[in-house]
Chain A
């Protein structure tokens, strides 16, 4: 199912708690590719956190094998194992009686690094998560905001440069605006450090935004679907997945599609003073600086100017721009800012991919 290196492999892993009739996790098999973010998504009590904690053996599996980087971790010393696996939790869990630097330096200390090396690593990590070492090194956790605390939590998890990082609802207790920013920062960070990250959440939007892949769990940690976010949103494997990703799934999926991947209609560019030539194509009027002013052709009645998007923007952004401009098309610019075509509302709705020669039907067409 997955090509390339597998960093974490769960092989028919089960967890039974004594005295409970149903297993918390039953015969779960899951491959996590190296360098990707895999999101474990599901309702409360579905076993996603249990699954996460099985990987670093905070919970011991009852049966099955867990391989990290090819090594069966059910046979190694759990403390040593965990120093090779970063761990971030929702409550952050910074030790209140230790400074930021002491918190981050704990694992390097346990690994026997010397002072100078620990100090350099702490500063490097604080820089990496966007906190100035001079300001934050000596602060105590209670003097940090929730977002700053979680940044330090991430820095602590990365202290020994582990190839794998486990994150248990890392942004769950953080206000929505800071959460968005931390999610963006995590993606930036991931682009630089390329760790294998397993992240637990129950928030579909977060899963879609962060995940290279999403593993959607039904109760008892049964894997309902394991696929790319776009695929899960577009083709839910069963009714459970469809109901869990919810009514907004189709719209959410549009965040994952690029404008450039859809068929664009030709656009004629009209410079100031010139008249449109080809009456069949849309024409856009530019100002002296080359910026689009309004549609020149009849038929388009953008009441609030021209909706403009770039090819690398998401289709969701294009729809948003169209709704705001009260128009049924958006002008698409390439990376240099030159118009390359128009994206019509009906193309989005029918999802005509680029290269499809059939004309985009208008709204009135019968199915």
Chain B
């Protein structure tokens, strides 16, 4: 009885939270549309604010965020796993120091430095985004894995599970909530940082923002920035759903 009651309570609570963000996004999106409808748009503004251009910039932005995040997962999760293995554990401070530099240097600085050193384009922008957002995933992977009760690993090894089985069936599933929290931070960072990719000619919603600023067109600027914010909110919401679904049962 108590069990069912608890479960019902938690779903009801999260149901309220789950609906808040999409409602906010819809309201803000509608407000933006209403504002644009009410504005007399000139030729320059019409050239930037139309379905094709906005969709193209949005797609570029999503590609930048999606690809950089996938790369971050592909690099930071295995690295985090490796670094938490007993033999490599002593390297953790050094790796964290390097990752902290990536975090501390502003994204725009990394982008510009990379542009100077290796050139401009989407690939370079991706490298910069990965450098700037790998830390939260790396750190949370390590924190999640190290936070696991040693007795569980000991028990797993003691009953005859191999290191790989203990990692895949015990350690990683239990670390998922913490790892997802890091991924959430990385994704949000990337949505924001990707607006800077416009400066290395990689497109994205940053194009709209930059155009708006350079040409002094507030509607273009607003379209770009509001869409970026809404994208960040939507992605954050999606990850929170994923956290809910992927959280191991029984915890």
Contacts and interface: CB of A to CB of B under 8 A. Distances in A.
A89 B251 CA distance: 21
A245 interface: no
Given A80-B160, A143-B3, A93 B155 contact: yes
Contact of A83 (B155, B160, B169): B160
Contact of B157 (A82, A95, A141, A159): A82
B202 to A, nearest CB: 41
Interface string A69-101: 000000000011111111101011111111100
Identify the interface centre among A85, A93, A106, A142: most chain B CB within 10 Å of its CB.
A93
A98 B161 contact: no
B161 A110 contact: yes
Contact of A97 (B3, B157, B248): B248
A96 B159 contact: no
A106 B173 contact: no
Contacts of B157: 58, 82
B151 interface: yes
B149 interface: yes
Contacts of A157: 159
Nearest to B157: A58
B7 to A, nearest CB: 12
A97 B173 contact: yes
Contact of B160 (A82, A92, A98): A82
B158 A56 contact: yes
Contact of B161 (A79, A140, A160): A79
Given A96-B250, A143-B3, A87 B155 contact: yes
A89 B160 contact: no
Given A95-B170, A110-B165, A143-B3, A89 B250 contact: no
Interface residues of A, number: 33
Contacts of A80: 160
A269 to B, nearest CB: 58
Interface in B30-70: none
A332 interface: no
Given A141-B250, A143-B3, A79 B162 contact: yes
Interface in A124-145: 140-143
B162 to A, nearest CB: 5
Contacts of B170: 95
Interface residues of B, number: 22
A95 to B, nearest CB: 6
A8 to B, nearest CB: 16
B174 interface: yes
A107 interface: yes
Contacts of A56: 158
A159 to B, nearest CB: 8
A15 interface: no
B152 A95 contact: yes
B250 A142 contact: yes
A140 B250 contact: yes
A30 B160 CA distance: 24
A110 B154 CA distance: 17
A96 B160 contact: no
Interface in B207-249: 248-249
Contacts of B156: 93, 95, 106
A156 interface: yes
A110 B250 contact: no
Nearest to A157: B159
Identify the interface centre among A84, A98, A141, A157: most chain B CB within 10 Å of its CB.
A98
A94 B169 CA distance: 13
A87 B155 CA distance: 7
Nearest to A160: B160
A57 to B, nearest CB: 10
B189 to A, nearest CB: 29
Identify the interface centre among B155, B162, B169, B173: most chain A CB within 10 Å of its CB.
B155
Given A92-B151, A93-B152, 9 more contacts: A58-B154, A80-B160, A82-B157, A87-B158, A93-B158, A95-B152, A95-B156, A110-B161, A110-B162
15 contacts: A58-B154, A58-B157, A58-B158, A87-B158, A89-B158, A92-B151, A93-B154, A94-B155, A95-B170, A96-B152, A97-B173, A97-B174, A98-B250, A110-B165, A140-B250
Interface of B: 3, 149, 151-152, 154-162, 165, 169-170, 173-174, 248-251
Closest 6 A/B residue pairs (Cβ): A93-B155, A140-B250, A97-B248, A83-B160, A82-B160, A87-B158
